[in-house]
Amino acid sequence: MTYRSPAARRRTLVAAAALAAAAVALPAAGTASAAPAAAAPAPDYAGLRQALNSVVAAGAPGAYALVSDRGGHGGTVGVGTGDLATGAPIDPKGQFRIGSITKNFTAVLALQLVAQHRVGLDAPAAGQLPAGVLPAGSPITVRDLLNHTSGLYDYSNDLPGILVGDTVTGYQQFRYKTYAPADLVAGALSHGSQFTPGSKYQYSNTNFVVLGMLVEHITGKPFATVLTERILRPLGMHDTRFVVPRTDIGGRHAIGYLTQDDRSKPLFDATAQTASWIWSAGAAISSTADLNTYWRALTAGALLPEEQLAEMEAVVPVDATGTSSYGLGMRAYTLSCGTRVYGHDGILEGYQSYSYTTKDGSRQVTVAANASNNGDVFAAERTALDPVFCGVPSSPAAKRRAAAGAGHVAAEETVGVSPEVLRK
């Protein structure tokens, strides 16, 4: 295993201890070893507020963002309301359902086990899972699961209101149900393989449910326990939890609204749900502060050794816009100024979010809105990245590119897209 330079020895020891004892500590500000890059432009908070106002104009009751630097310092902007019934302003410190941002947590847990030589990244996953989860002899590797090249059908496309039927009516059919992860995977397998594993990219929640089962099988502990012991408790992420199948968020939060398919109808309160249908692929709850803390720890090497972090960050283009790429449980965007940021997006009923960091951990932003089933809201949120990382508001051309990229990601998250040949 290759660790970082001697200047990063303190960080390396933290990471090694985390892997050996399933405990990590967030490094103090300034311990990252990366050579200083040219100073990035300061965040444009006026441009960020403008972007958040456009999120509300697009149909979200409220939107908010937290910008942080390597030392955890920064600023918060919030606009709109967190509760249409009371008119209470949005709480920028409130918690929300983070949807597929959860996938990066799951990826880190799996890669920690790879670093401990308890999981083989390029070995068939079937032999590292409980018998019968994947067919015997399946060539799907753990890497194929992490980078969405497994060919496994996305079971969530079979849920009512996803591909067929009214969104709100469909949601009410599964929001309070409790699903066994093995049953979700079995439903996906009934569709057969979508393509030869490793040959194409196709985003599938099934991949990360399988990975959650792998984490449980290898550690012998529930997924929520492993997440708490290895990430949440060591990093002091007190606003973050994985409480499936409990239906409440637990901490202070905005009401999460589901946009009706008929936009003339009022927004629907979708806050409470078991989220068991998305499990280790998207059921976590967190806050902007906790997520920014998480990205600082990850980029500083406090959660993974350099070898596994490099594997996670080795992204390849995954959409025709050329602005969106994917690695191992990590998405990356190339912004209008050429800066590439790393993280993940999340869409779950009631909430849509972006959470991103520079590769060197010098700046993070988490943007959240309390409305889903609205692609205009999701696209508007993405325009918040340019003022934060580029120091200028998104230009009209950048907004068009962002809207196209956001549309592709939203389709991946909600209705599925055709597999794409890898462009390595």
Show which residues are catalytic.
100
**Lookup: tokens for 325:** 């790429």
Integer-rounded Cα Rg, in Å, for the chain is 20
Which residues, including other chains, have CB under 8 Å from residue 177's CB and lie 6 or more apart?
274, 276, 277
| DSSP string covering 332-343 | EEE-TTS-EEEE
The H-assigned helical ranges of 351-395 are: 375-382, 385-389
Give the whole-angstrom CA distance, residue 58 versus residue 370. Answer: 12
393: left (phi over 0), alpha (psi -120 to 50) or beta: beta
Beta strand ranges found along 93-185 (DSSP E): 95-97
CA angle 340/341/345 to nearest 5° reads: 135
Give the whole-angstrom CA distance, residue 164 versus residue 340. Answer: 36
Give the whole-angstrom CA distance, residue 281 versus residue 107. Answer: 10
**Lookup: tokens for 266:** 């009022």
Q: Which of 313, 418, 410 is nearest to 352 (CA)?
A: 410
Give the whole-angstrom CA distance, residue 289 versus residue 418. Answer: 35
Q: Are 355 and 368 a contacting pair, CB within 8 Å?
A: no
The H-assigned helical ranges of 140-229 are: 142-146, 167-174, 181-189, 205-219, 223-227
Q: Which of 225, 252, 229 is nearest to 93 (CA)?
A: 252
Cα torsion angle, 212, 213, 218, 220, sign: positive
CA distances in angstroms from 156 to 11, 159, 162, listed in the order given: 39, 5, 7
Q: Which stretch of DSSP H or E encloses residue 178?
A: none
Give the whole-angstrom CA distance, residue 115 versus residue 69. Answer: 28
